[in-house]
Amino acid sequence: MPELPEVETVKNILKTTWLNKTIDHIEVLCPKMIKGDVNAFYSLAHQTLNDIQRKGKFLIFFFSNHLVLLSHLRMEGKFYLFHKDENNSRFARIIFYFTNDEKMCYDDSRKFGVMKVIHEDELKNEPWLTALGPEPFDIEDTSSLLLKAQKIHTPIKPFIMDQHVISGIGNIYADEILYRSLISPLEPASHLTKEDWDLLISNAKDILKTAIQEQGTTIRSYHPSKDMVGNFQNQLFVYGKKGDFCPTCHSPFMKIMVGGRGTTFCPNCQKKKYPPIVIGLTGAIGSGKSSALNYFKSLGLETISSDVIVRELYQDKSVQKHLISLFGKQIIHEHQVNFAYLRTLISEDSHKNKMLQDYLYPLVRNQLELFILHSNSKIVVIEVPLLFESHMDSLCNITIAIKISNENQRKNLKKRGQKEIDQMLLMNYKGEEYPYGNRVTYYLDTNNNKKALEKALEKIYKSLINGNTF
């Protein structure tokens, strides 16, 4: 967890608790944390600490015999000072005993931290340090960042967290910097302009400077020193605020995964520069929605079916638990949703059907929103049988409804081996009863002809890519 402000705080603390003190001996309780020459590490004994510096998230200790200790705290690393007769810290991994009856415990609950000892002459060529990009404080001209970003399509958040690009920024401050800069964490880095980079780096400097003044951020178990709390957590706007409301637009903050890291942001204030055109595809059961979706997929468009989302939701244990609370234990059979029972239940009881919809619709909508949000395509297609009834048409720029006669509808359901056709039609609209009217952008009546359907869809697609209005 320690990022640039936390490591800077640790450095400043160690300057008051370790500087000018001599090591008597060293006890290594977790040898895997020592990288490089182990004998060199033990040669720190009888040496005095002359200076401590920081580069990115690395601490650099300079000793009297021209040896240098490099330390990266990773997720949970801390240095705690004790009297030699006190008990060690709970997760002490390396202990430096001083000649003045004190000891410094390196504490690391997860054992992720690493240390290495090198000679001072090796410092300028040390790979741990030479691989680091500049810190935000060292960036005066953002042109090099602009040039580097234009060559890749990585989302901006993992890009600025890449220590080879910019050193010192981690998960906490990336969220805060992007929020203040009104940049979506999912925005491809290549989309940022020079003005965007200037603003981002300026905000990074300001946020990191303030965080250093507040001695960093304490999240859960992280403390820069014994009984010390970083106060910047009291100034966090977005990190860890999932469900809270944005102070600017009052929309709820959303938490998603970006580059494998939990990311909190405001989906309203931090919109992508080039959001995709969203096509909403709907129609009665058996109308040809799947064929239409597959056709769009064959064109290289990103597509998703709400039916697939629902099937995945039905596998979720928490969803199954809620279904039991709604419909009783018999709704689950051998850890699976009993679909035959569910179909009978909701086809015979409109109230229970509404209960199911009221529960599922928000879950499905959330998955569709995430799909659209994560997409880097110019056009995406979402298929939702009850697009308008669920109000998911609000996610769409255009909508396409496929018409089908009752006769062809039954024919298609029979062809696909669908049993209990009458029951299925009770749960869904019959083709000739679809009440869309003027709410639909494109209403396709191709008389159940697949080639005619694909031709109509091709015409719509070409209109979109040519920039025609709709």
Domain boundary among 224, 242, 265: 265
Would residue 259 count as lying in a domain?
Answer: yes
Would residue 288 count as lying in a domain?
Answer: yes
What is the domain-level CATH number for residue 75? 3.20.190.10
| Tokens at 284, concatenated | 């009665």
Whether residues 123 and 141 share a domain: the answer is: no
Residue 27 appears among annotated catalytic residues: no
Would residue 271 count as lying in a domain?
Answer: no
Would residue 56 count as lying in a domain?
Answer: yes
Whether residues 174 and 126 share a domain: the answer is: no
Whether residues 405 and 445 share a domain: the answer is: yes
pLDDT of residue 222: 56
Q: Is this prediction's pTM over 0.85?
A: no
Whether residues 41 and 146 share a domain: the answer is: no
pLDDT of residue 410: 75
Whether residues 345 and 246 share a domain: the answer is: no
Q: Which of 15, 111, 255, 261 is catalytic?
A: 261
pLDDT of residue 147: 95
Residue 220 appears among annotated catalytic residues: no
Question: pLDDT tens digits, the chain, 470 residues: what are they?
Answer: 789 999 999 999 999 999 999 999 999 999 999 999 888 999 999 999 999 999 999 999 999 999 999 999 998 899 999 999 999 988 999 999 999 999 999 999 999 999 999 999 999 999 999 999 999 999 999 999 999 999 888 999 999 999 999 999 999 999 999 999 999 999 999 999 999 999 999 999 999 999 999 988 876 555 555 666 777 888 999 999 999 999 999 999 999 999 999 999 999 999 999 899 999 999 877 788 888 999 999 999 999 999 999 999 999 999 999 999 999 999 999 999 998 888 888 878 889 989 999 999 999 999 999 999 999 889 999 999 889 989 999 999 999 998 887 777 777 667 766 666 565 555 555 555 666 777 899 988 877 788 999 999 999 999 888 875 44
Would residue 302 count as lying in a domain?
Answer: yes
Q: How many domains does the chain have?
A: 3
Q: Which of 11, 57, 365, 410 is catalytic?
A: 57
Whether residues 290 and 372 share a domain: the answer is: yes
Residue 178, domain extent: 136-265
What is the domain-level CATH number for residue 413? 3.40.50.300
pLDDT of residue 221: 57
Would residue 447 count as lying in a domain?
Answer: yes
pLDDT of residue 404: 80
| Tokens at 410, concatenated | 């039954």
Whether residues 159 and 72 share a domain: the answer is: no
User: What would you report as the CA-atom Rg of the chain, rounded to the nearest whole angstrom?
Assistant: 30
Domain boundary among 103, 130, 157: 130
What is the domain-level CATH number for residue 206? 1.10.8.50
Amino acid at 69: L
Whether residues 161 and 231 share a domain: the answer is: yes
- Please report where in the chains the tokens 């109230």 appear, as a residue: 351
pLDDT of residue 348: 82
Domain boundary among 82, 110, 130: 130
Amino acid at 459: K
Would residue 470 count as lying in a domain?
Answer: no
Taking the CA atoms of 359, 361, 364 and 370 in sequence, report the sign of the dihedral they define: negative
| Tokens at 23, concatenated | 């090591």
Residue 2 appears among annotated catalytic residues: yes
Whether residues 413 and 294 share a domain: the answer is: yes
Would residue 270 count as lying in a domain?
Answer: no
Q: Could you tell me which residues are beta bridge partners of residue 398?
A: 279
Whether residues 291 and 254 share a domain: the answer is: no
Report d(CA 344, CA 352) in Å as an integer.
11
Whether residues 450 and 340 share a domain: the answer is: yes
pLDDT of residue 470: 42
Q: Which of 2, 5, 188, 276 is catalytic?
A: 2
Residue 385 appears among annotated catalytic residues: no
Whether residues 9 and 117 share a domain: the answer is: yes
